[in-house]
Amino acid sequence: MYIGAHISISKGFSAAVEQAVSIGADTMQFFTRNPRGASAKQLNPKDVEAFKEKVNSYKFGPIVAHAPYTMNMAAAKDDLWELAIRVIGDDLTRLDELEVPYMAVHPGSHVGQGTEVGIQKVAKALNIIHKHNNNSQILLEAMAGSGTEVGKSFEELASIISLLDKPEKVGVCLDTCHLYGAGYDVKDNLEGVLQELDNKLGLDKVKAIHLNDSLQPLGSRKDRHANIGEGLIGKEALANIVNHPKLKHLPFLLETPGGIDNYAQEIAFIKSQVK
Ligand code: FE
Ligand code: FE
Ligand code: ZN
């Protein structure tokens, strides 16, 4: 298994790798740009080279970028929908240069248009994005289902993928907090959840896992990340997820509150649980 956390790239990509190493990580996640803003910093070729060298020499597992969560591929307004397509496409092209294999993307919110329309819009957006044939792959993140979020069930994710011209170009990113919020009992019925996942999506679609505890109960449709062991999923269940034979080859990324010192402690804990 590979364990990492969400790291800031404000001091550059190569510095972010060093920070990941300093907290005991062997992979990492970063926002492709300010999560709320839409402007991206220009890539510095020296930084890109140093980043790639470090990722290789430290033998990092697959790195996962994260698209800004304000981008909505299910938007009702054309300008917002087109912006999402442009920004996500642009980010994939930058990730190709960094040789980062994956980018987690929240599918979108249907904002009252209904789930069916939302699913169709997301698929249409992905079909446009996929025309560029990037190497870096979009991972649709399974959502908790708050508000009008699309992608809150394995069925919804499967419906999106079924509408794609190039279904092989997308993977799925699970988030333990989101799954729990969406009603998938990863605490007391992990086997059942993985069985359902395999039936509806195929386990091979899963390329990364966001490892978070949850402040809100099973099926609450709420997305409130808690520190490992301080939420309702608990340390034991999260350790079981990391050790599960069908999941343990994946990169696990923490998105827990508390910043870098907290990540270091949680990474040390997870490593101590690995069998
Ligand atoms: Fe996310
Ligand atoms: Fe997440
Ligand atoms: Zn979340």
Mean pLDDT for the chain overall: 97
Average pLDDT estimate for 24-35? 93
What is the domain extent for residue 237? 2-273
Q: Say whether pLDDT at 38 is over 90.
A: no
Number of structural domains in the chain: 1
Residue 93: other Cβ atoms inside 10 A: 12
The pLDDT confidence band at residue 57, using thresholds 50, 70 and 90, is very high
Q: What confidence tens digit (pLDDT) does each residue in 92-112 have?
A: 999 999 999 999 999 999 999
The shares of helix, strand and coil residues in the chain, as percent rounded to the nearest 5, are 45, 15, 40
The pLDDT confidence band at residue 209, using thresholds 50, 70 and 90, is very high
Q: What confidence tens digit (pLDDT) does each residue in 116-147 have?
A: 999 999 999 999 999 999 999 999 999 999 99
Q: Which of 198, 186, 207 is nearest to 251 (CA)?
A: 207
Q: What CATH number does the domain containing 232 carry?
A: 3.20.20.150
Average pLDDT estimate for 54-67? 98
Q: Say whether pLDDT at 186 is over 70.
A: yes
The pLDDT confidence band at residue 170, using thresholds 50, 70 and 90, is very high
Query: What is the Å distance from ligand 2's center to 64 Cα?
Result: 11
Ligand nearest to the CA of 105: 1
Query: What is the Å distance from ligand 2's center to 230 Cα?
Result: 17
Ligand nearest to the CA of 253: 2
pTM: 0.97
Query: What is the Å distance from ligand 2's center to 97 Cα?
Result: 24
Query: What is the Å distance from ligand 2's center to 141 Cα?
Result: 7
